[in-house]
Amino acid sequence: MKILDILVPEAIVPEMRATSKDEALDELASAVVGLRPDIDRARLVDVLRDREELGSTAIGEGIAIPHGKLSGVQDVLAAFGRSPSGIDFDSLDGGPTHLFFLLVAPEDSAGLHLKALARVSRLLKDADFRQRLLAGTSRDELYASIKSEDEKY
């Protein structure tokens, strides 16, 4: 699975306005719903919040991968957001979170969901890639960085 199979440029938020975890989940969910108006935004946000209650999806080093499964979704969907100032997302390392990959999977798709999580995690392990994402200021620039990294593997 490639990231570009599930992420389109229109689902990239280069300058998140959110200042809290709840606002970040809402803003990223809105990016998905903007492309898929058949998805109930409030229901998606509830699924994401429920997942966060199990444990933060902020894995440290300024990264969070909020995710959830939603009935009615046929394919894995993604959104990417960048918060230059950082958001307190209850990260495992206690630091602010700057880079967000939101993943939404069909309710009955454990395999696809896990493949998407693994792919995003693998790409974000690269410190140079994270720096390029932090430095990117436009949707096109961020998409180009993600595309370039995605094509390496």
**How many C-beta atoms lie closer than 10 Å to residue 82's C-beta?**
20
- Tokens for 80? 């990417």
User: Is 113 assigned a catalytic role?
Assistant: no
Distance CA 45, CA 23 (A): 10
User: What whole-number percentage of the chain has pLDDT above 70?
Assistant: 100
DSSP annotation of 11: G
- Residue 8 binned pLDDT confidence (cut-offs 50, 70, 90): very high
pLDDT at 22: 97
In the chain, the number of structural domains is 1
pLDDT at 46: 97
pLDDT at 1: 86
**Across the strands, what pairs with 70?**
106
Place of tokens 């959104």: 79
Q: In terms of residue numbers, what domain contains 31?
A: 3-150
- Residue 32 CA, distance from chain mean position: 10
Mapped onto helix, strand or coil, the DSSP state of residue 77 is strand
pLDDT at 110: 76
- As a residue count, the chain comes to 153
Residues 112 and 105: beta-carbon distance below 8 Å: yes
Write out pLDDT tens, residues 79-134.
999 999 999 999 999 999 999 999 999 998 878 889 999 999 999 999 999 999 99
Q: Which amino acid is at 53?
A: E
- Indicate which CATH number applies to the domain containing 12: 3.40.930.10
- Of the candidates 21, 67, 113, 130, the residue annotated as catalytic is 67
